[in-house]
Amino acid sequence: MTLWLIILGMSVATFGQRASFLLLPEHVKLPLLLRQALRYVPAAVLTAIWAPELLLQKGVLSLAPGNERLLAGMVAIAVAWRFRATFATIVAGLVALHVFDRLF
């Protein structure tokens, strides 16, 4: 039941975001600062999602080689930077995770 509530809430929120500016009347102009600020949203938000997943182990910062998620993530970052390919990045990261898991 809660799950359906979440789905409903997400649907309304997401559609609202997409429709927001498209449904504004023609004469409304957007402030320059807002348009500039929105440009940094994707990079900021997407990085904020994965950074804790890599750097924290059980909620504690872990930069030791025993943190195989961090090592695998660095491999994935290198692949994403070099090839800009979603599938290659994910496969490389998963393979690296298993390799580092065996090593350490």
Partner 1 sequence: MPLARTEFQAGLRASLPLLVAIAPFGLVTGVAMAAGGIPPLQAMAMSVLVYAGASMLAAMQLIVEGAPALVVVLAAFIVNLRLLMYSASIRPYFTGEPLGRRLLVSYALVDNPYALFIQRFGTHPGAAGKFDYFVGLAIPTWLCWQAAVGAGLLVGHQLPAAWKLEFAAPLAFIAMSVPLLRDKATAAAALSAGITAVLTHGLPLRLGLALAAAVGIAFGLFTEKLLRTKA
Query: Rg of the Cα trace of the chain?
Result: 20
Structure tokens at 48: 């904020």
Task: Return the axis-axis angle of helices 68-83 and 86-103, rounded to nearest 10°.
Answer: 150
Interaction between residue 66 and partner 1 (CB under 8 A): no
State phi, psi for 26 to the nearest 5 degrees. Answer: -55, -35
- x/- mask, partner 1, residues 6-25, rule CB under 8 A, reads xxxxxx-xxx-xxxxxxxx-
Interaction between residue 63 and partner 1 (CB under 8 A): no
Beta-bridge partners for 57: 60
| Least CB distance to partner 1 at residue 35 (A) | 6
State phi, psi for 67 to the nearest 5 degrees. Answer: -85, 85
Do 97 and 104 meet the contact criterion of CB atoms below 8 Å apart? no
Interaction between residue 104 and partner 1 (CB under 8 A): no
- x/- mask, partner 1, residues 78-97, rule CB under 8 A, reads --xx--xxxx-xx--xx--x
| Least CB distance to partner 1 at residue 50 (A) | 4
Q: Which spans of this chain sit near partner 1 (rule: CB under 8 A)?
A: 2-11, 13-15, 17-24, 26, 30, 33-56, 59, 61, 69, 72-73, 76-77, 80-81, 84-87, 89-90, 93-94, 97-98, 101
